[in-house]
Amino acid sequence: MQIKKILFIRRDNIGDLICTTPAIHAAREKFPDARIGILVSTYNADVIKNNPDIDEVYIYEKSKHAPDKNRLSVWWDNLKVFQKIRRERYDIAIGCGTYSIRLARYTALTGAKRRVGYVPRDVRKSRWYNAPVPEPDRPAHEVETVFHLISALGIHGPLPPMRVFPLEKETQKVRDFLTAAGIKRDKPLVAFHISSRRQQNRWPIEKFIDLARDILSRKEAEIMLLWSPGSKKNVYHPGDDEKADLFVRSVQPGPAAYRTTAVRELIAAISVSDLVVCGDGGAMHIAAALGKRIVTIWGSSGPIRWRPWGVTHLILQDESRRAENISVQSVIDAVQKLLT
């Protein structure tokens, strides 16, 4: 089968999409003249902005991310996205991620001639995939799991690094903000990302405050605060504005608190940092794709699948699998180790 058009489908979270970029880059290197498209959501689309491996980006919206819109209107707009994809007549569509019936259906809706995706190991035929791949029989990193799917393209390695490309205008905004905040770049800049979607993965803000006080007392580094914007009272998109405000009021001299309202702004902020302290989540994978050193405080996540890929990092996790039980001193020690 001659391959001229390749479509990747990655409909879930920020980190999942970042873990897909090595497979996309390998496909670009294998087929330099092919047209490569990707179907993403409004939530994660900023991850692949500026990515030279991708020719076409198709964006659909999950109704839960658009509570102010009529659900039928959202569905209609998404239908038009799939109609546009079908008109392109892709040779192959790859449903990236572990098996789910919704991902399988989306892959089928593309109308691609060959449809690749994972199915449970006890399934021999698939209604939706005409080139099904049995799910791995042993744990692997998400980068490796996605990369295995492109063996259908005759690609078997080596694995390229993850790739994220900051927008220059956003990066300059961060630099200007840091200058205005009095942050001099004669010291390493440590970015704190204090937010996490899962309760088990949240390190208490009081511990972040104690960590910041220790770092600043040593006068070896500066701190930039990052967080998910919005109030904790927001039903649809709860944020950590209240925690960020407590942090700023509690730490002296006041840290640079950079409020990001879009993923592209978070990417830019992390790109100018030297070390990132965070939980498991999108910010951690952004930092890894940007080649940053990472201290990551974990709760219930599994390191085999979701550890920072391809960079120097330290994972702090204990038997309780709750981030709140990680001591401040252990994080201080980890930060000192990676700063020196």
Given a contact cutoff of 8 angstroms between Cβ atoms, the answer to whether 256 and 181 are in contact is yes
SS3 category, 143:
helix
287 touches 272 (CB < 8 A): no
What are the residue ranges in the chain where pLDDT is below 70? 1, 63-68, 70, 235-236
The residue written with tokens 């659909």 in the block is: 60
The pair of three-digit structure tokens given for residue 97, joined into one six-digit string: 């991620």
Give the pLDDT score at 61: 82
Q: Are 128 and 117 in contact (CB under 8 A)?
A: yes
Give Cβ neighbours of residue 179 (< 8 Å, ≥ 6 apart). none
Q: Sketch the domain layout of the chain as residue ranges.
A: 5-153, 168-339
Amino acid at 182: G
Options 3.40.50.2000, 1.10.10.10, 2.40.50.140, 1.10.3720.10; CATH for 168-339 is 3.40.50.2000
| The pLDDT value given to residue 141 | 97
Cα radius of gyration (the chain): 21
Question: E strands within 103-236?
Answer: 114-119, 131-134, 189-193, 222-226
Q: What is the pLDDT of residue 196?
A: 92
**Buried-state track 201-229, b at ≥16 Cβ within 10 A, e below 16:** bbbebebbbbbbeebbeeeebbbbbbbbb
Confidence at residue 76, expressed as pLDDT on a 0 to 100 scale: 85
**Other Cβ atoms closer than 10 A to 230:** 17
Residues 171 and 151: their CA atoms lie apart, in Å, by 36
Q: Which fold has domain 5-153?
A: Rossmann fold (3.40.50)
CA distance 38 to 16: 13
**So what's the pLDDT on residue 232?**
83
- The predicted structure's pLDDT at residue 198: 86
The three-state secondary structure class of 315 is: strand
pLDDT at 68: 66
Pair 268, 170: CB distance under 8 Å:
yes
CB atoms within 10 A of CB 329: 11
pLDDT at 235: 65
CB neighbour class for 272 (10 Å; exposed up to 12, middle 13-18, buried from 19): buried
Predicted local confidence at residue 236, as pLDDT: 62
What pLDDT sits at residue 67?
62
Q: What is the pTM of this model?
A: 0.95
Instruction: Decide: 295 and 314 in contact? Cβ < 8 Å.
Output: yes
- Segment 103-129, tens digit of pLDDT: 999 999 999 999 999 999 888 788 999
Helix H or strand E segment including 263: helix 263-271
What was the pLDDT predicted at 65?
A: 56
pLDDT of residue 77: 87
Measured distance CA(150)–CA(93) in Å, rounded: 10
For residue 119, the cross-strand partners are 134
Residue 69's pLDDT is 72
Q: What pLDDT, on the 0 to 100 scale, is given for residue 197? A: 84
pLDDT of residue 290: 98
Query: CA neighbours within 13 Å on the CB side: how many for 136?
Result: 15
